[in-house]
Amino acid sequence: MAEGYPLVAADLPDLFKAAMRRLAASVSIVVARGDDGPVGMAATSITSLTADPPAVLVCVNRMTSLHASLVPTAPLSVNLLARHHKNVSMAFGGGMPRAERFQVGNWQPADNGLPALADAQANLECVIDAMLAYGTHSIVIARVIRARVSDTVEPLIYQDGGYL
Ligand SMILES: Cc1cc2nc3c(=O)[nH]c(=O)nc-3n(C[C@H](O)[C@H](O)[C@H](O)COP(=O)(O)O)c2cc1C
Protein backbone atom coordinates (compact mmCIF):
# COMPACT_ATOMS: atom_id res chain seq x y z
CA MET A 1 0.00 0.00 0.00
CA ALA A 2 1.40 3.37 -0.92
CA GLU A 3 2.47 5.59 1.96
CA GLY A 4 -0.22 8.10 2.89
CA TYR A 5 -3.13 5.87 1.87
CA PRO A 6 -4.02 3.77 4.96
CA LEU A 7 -6.66 1.16 4.15
CA VAL A 8 -7.83 0.49 7.71
CA ALA A 9 -6.96 2.69 10.66
CA ALA A 10 -8.13 3.53 14.15
CA ASP A 11 -9.39 6.84 12.83
CA LEU A 12 -11.69 5.19 10.27
CA PRO A 13 -14.65 7.54 10.99
CA ASP A 14 -12.48 10.58 10.19
CA LEU A 15 -11.03 8.92 7.11
CA PHE A 16 -14.54 8.01 5.92
CA LYS A 17 -15.67 11.64 6.30
CA ALA A 18 -12.56 12.84 4.47
CA ALA A 19 -13.25 10.37 1.66
CA MET A 20 -16.85 11.54 1.34
CA ARG A 21 -15.69 15.17 1.09
CA ARG A 22 -13.97 14.05 -2.12
CA LEU A 23 -17.23 12.66 -3.50
CA ALA A 24 -18.68 15.45 -5.66
CA ALA A 25 -22.47 15.35 -5.93
CA SER A 26 -25.19 17.52 -7.39
CA VAL A 27 -27.64 19.07 -4.96
CA SER A 28 -31.42 18.66 -4.98
CA ILE A 29 -34.24 19.88 -2.77
CA VAL A 30 -36.51 17.06 -1.64
CA VAL A 31 -40.05 18.15 -0.76
CA ALA A 32 -42.82 16.23 1.02
CA ARG A 33 -46.21 17.07 2.51
CA GLY A 34 -45.98 17.86 6.20
CA ASP A 35 -48.81 18.30 8.70
CA ASP A 36 -48.57 22.10 8.46
CA GLY A 37 -47.57 22.48 4.82
CA PRO A 38 -44.66 21.46 2.61
CA VAL A 39 -41.36 20.37 4.16
CA GLY A 40 -38.12 20.68 2.20
CA MET A 41 -34.50 19.59 2.65
CA ALA A 42 -31.28 19.89 0.65
CA ALA A 43 -29.91 16.49 -0.36
CA THR A 44 -26.93 15.14 -2.30
CA SER A 45 -27.99 11.51 -1.83
CA ILE A 46 -30.32 11.35 -4.86
CA THR A 47 -29.39 8.44 -7.09
CA SER A 48 -30.99 7.16 -10.25
CA LEU A 49 -32.21 3.66 -9.34
CA THR A 50 -33.93 2.23 -12.44
CA ALA A 51 -35.47 3.50 -15.66
CA ASP A 52 -38.15 0.79 -15.66
CA PRO A 53 -39.97 1.81 -13.63
CA PRO A 54 -38.39 5.27 -13.45
CA ALA A 55 -37.26 5.55 -9.85
CA VAL A 56 -34.74 7.34 -7.66
CA LEU A 57 -33.50 6.73 -4.17
CA VAL A 58 -32.70 9.29 -1.53
CA CYS A 59 -31.08 8.76 1.87
CA VAL A 60 -32.69 10.83 4.63
CA ASN A 61 -31.46 11.22 8.21
CA ARG A 62 -34.20 10.18 10.62
CA MET A 63 -33.48 13.32 12.73
CA THR A 64 -34.60 15.67 9.94
CA SER A 65 -38.04 17.26 9.92
CA LEU A 66 -38.61 15.84 6.42
CA HIS A 67 -38.38 12.26 7.66
CA ALA A 68 -41.68 12.34 9.58
CA SER A 69 -43.51 12.93 6.28
CA LEU A 70 -41.94 9.96 4.49
CA VAL A 71 -44.25 6.95 4.33
CA PRO A 72 -45.06 4.55 1.50
CA THR A 73 -47.56 5.96 -1.08
CA ALA A 74 -46.90 9.58 0.06
CA PRO A 75 -45.97 12.13 -2.63
CA LEU A 76 -42.35 13.29 -2.83
CA SER A 77 -40.79 15.83 -5.16
CA VAL A 78 -37.15 16.15 -6.18
CA ASN A 79 -35.90 19.48 -7.54
CA LEU A 80 -32.44 19.26 -9.15
CA LEU A 81 -30.67 22.55 -8.45
CA ALA A 82 -28.89 24.67 -11.06
CA ARG A 83 -25.54 26.40 -10.53
CA HIS A 84 -27.20 29.69 -9.48
CA HIS A 85 -29.18 27.98 -6.66
CA LYS A 86 -26.48 28.08 -3.99
CA ASN A 87 -28.74 30.30 -1.84
CA VAL A 88 -31.58 27.76 -2.15
CA SER A 89 -29.27 24.92 -1.10
CA MET A 90 -28.02 26.87 1.90
CA ALA A 91 -31.57 27.78 3.00
CA PHE A 92 -32.81 24.17 2.78
CA GLY A 93 -29.59 22.72 4.16
CA GLY A 94 -30.30 24.08 7.61
CA GLY A 95 -29.40 27.73 7.06
CA MET A 96 -32.96 28.96 7.50
CA PRO A 97 -35.95 28.11 9.75
CA ARG A 98 -38.18 25.49 8.12
CA ALA A 99 -41.18 27.81 7.72
CA GLU A 100 -39.15 30.43 5.79
CA ARG A 101 -37.25 28.18 3.37
CA PHE A 102 -39.80 28.32 0.54
CA GLN A 103 -39.38 32.11 0.42
CA VAL A 104 -35.94 31.48 -1.13
CA GLY A 105 -36.33 30.66 -4.84
CA ASN A 106 -39.28 30.71 -7.24
CA TRP A 107 -41.55 27.95 -5.88
CA GLN A 108 -44.80 27.24 -7.74
CA PRO A 109 -47.47 24.60 -7.05
CA ALA A 110 -47.07 21.46 -9.17
CA ASP A 111 -49.70 18.90 -10.22
CA ASN A 112 -49.12 16.84 -7.05
CA GLY A 113 -49.84 19.89 -4.89
CA LEU A 114 -46.25 20.22 -3.65
CA PRO A 115 -44.15 23.30 -4.47
CA ALA A 116 -41.78 22.90 -7.42
CA LEU A 117 -38.74 25.12 -8.04
CA ALA A 118 -39.61 26.85 -11.34
CA ASP A 119 -36.06 27.26 -12.70
CA ALA A 120 -34.63 23.97 -11.46
CA GLN A 121 -32.51 21.72 -13.72
CA ALA A 122 -35.34 19.22 -13.45
CA ASN A 123 -38.42 18.53 -11.33
CA LEU A 124 -39.44 14.98 -10.51
CA GLU A 125 -42.86 14.25 -9.02
CA CYS A 126 -42.73 10.89 -7.27
CA VAL A 127 -44.59 8.55 -4.94
CA ILE A 128 -42.77 6.65 -2.23
CA ASP A 129 -42.75 2.91 -3.00
CA ALA A 130 -40.45 1.55 -0.27
CA MET A 131 -38.26 2.53 2.66
CA LEU A 132 -35.35 0.76 4.33
CA ALA A 133 -33.86 1.84 7.68
CA TYR A 134 -30.06 1.71 7.91
CA GLY A 135 -28.01 3.30 10.67
CA THR A 136 -29.06 6.90 11.21
CA HIS A 137 -30.82 7.12 7.83
CA SER A 138 -33.70 5.75 5.78
CA ILE A 139 -33.19 4.77 2.17
CA VAL A 140 -36.30 5.98 0.37
CA ILE A 141 -37.27 4.53 -3.02
CA ALA A 142 -39.41 6.98 -4.96
CA ARG A 143 -41.13 6.11 -8.26
CA VAL A 144 -41.22 9.03 -10.71
CA ILE A 145 -44.69 9.73 -12.11
CA ARG A 146 -44.05 13.12 -13.77
CA ALA A 147 -40.88 14.95 -14.88
CA ARG A 148 -39.88 18.34 -16.28
CA VAL A 149 -36.37 19.25 -17.52
CA SER A 150 -34.67 22.54 -18.36
CA ASP A 151 -32.92 23.16 -21.69
CA THR A 152 -29.46 23.55 -20.18
CA VAL A 153 -27.35 21.21 -18.06
CA GLU A 154 -25.69 23.30 -15.32
CA PRO A 155 -25.98 21.41 -12.03
CA LEU A 156 -25.02 22.82 -8.63
CA ILE A 157 -22.16 20.63 -7.38
CA TYR A 158 -21.25 20.15 -3.70
CA GLN A 159 -17.79 18.85 -2.70
CA ASP A 160 -15.38 19.30 0.19
CA GLY A 161 -18.01 21.25 2.16
CA GLY A 162 -18.50 23.90 -0.54
CA TYR A 163 -20.11 24.59 -3.91
CA LEU A 164 -18.49 24.54 -7.36
C1 LIG B 1 -25.44 20.24 0.18
C2 LIG B 1 -26.17 19.48 1.26
C3 LIG B 1 -26.54 18.15 1.05
C4 LIG B 1 -27.21 17.43 2.03
N5 LIG B 1 -27.60 16.13 1.77
C6 LIG B 1 -28.34 15.45 2.68
C7 LIG B 1 -28.83 14.15 2.39
O8 LIG B 1 -28.63 13.59 1.30
N9 LIG B 1 -29.55 13.51 3.36
C10 LIG B 1 -29.82 14.08 4.58
O11 LIG B 1 -30.49 13.46 5.41
N12 LIG B 1 -29.37 15.34 4.87
C13 LIG B 1 -28.65 16.03 3.95
N14 LIG B 1 -28.22 17.30 4.23
C15 LIG B 1 -28.53 17.89 5.54
C16 LIG B 1 -29.95 18.48 5.57
O17 LIG B 1 -30.25 19.25 4.43
C18 LIG B 1 -30.06 19.37 6.83
O19 LIG B 1 -29.78 18.57 7.97
C20 LIG B 1 -31.40 20.02 6.96
O21 LIG B 1 -31.26 21.08 7.87
C22 LIG B 1 -32.46 19.06 7.50
O23 LIG B 1 -33.69 19.71 7.58
P24 LIG B 1 -34.37 20.12 8.99
O25 LIG B 1 -33.53 21.25 9.53
O26 LIG B 1 -35.73 20.56 8.53
O27 LIG B 1 -34.40 18.92 9.87
C28 LIG B 1 -27.52 18.04 3.27
C29 LIG B 1 -27.15 19.38 3.49
C30 LIG B 1 -26.49 20.08 2.50
C31 LIG B 1 -26.12 21.54 2.74
pLDDT tens sequence for the chain (164 residues)? 556 665 566 799 999 999 999 999 999 999 999 999 999 999 999 999 999 999 999 999 999 999 999 999 999 999 999 999 999 999 999 989 998 999 999 999 999 999 999 999 999 999 999 999 999 999 999 999 999 999 999 999 999 999 99
- Amino acid identity of residue 5, one-letter, is Y
For residues 128 and 76, the answer to whether their CB atoms sit within 8 Å is yes
Whole-angstrom distance, CA of residue 162 vs CA of residue 107: 24
Q: What is the dihedral of CA 37, 43, 64, 123, to 10 degrees?
A: 20
Cβ-count burial of 141 within 10 angstroms (0-12 exposed, 13-18 middle, 19+ buried)? middle
Residues at CB less than 6 angstroms from ligand 1: 27, 41-45, 59-61, 64-66, 89, 93-94, 98, 158
For residues 104 and 96, the answer to whether their CB atoms sit within 8 Å is yes
Domains and CATH numbers, the chain: 13-157 (2.30.110.10)
CA 115 – ligand 1 centroid, Å: 18
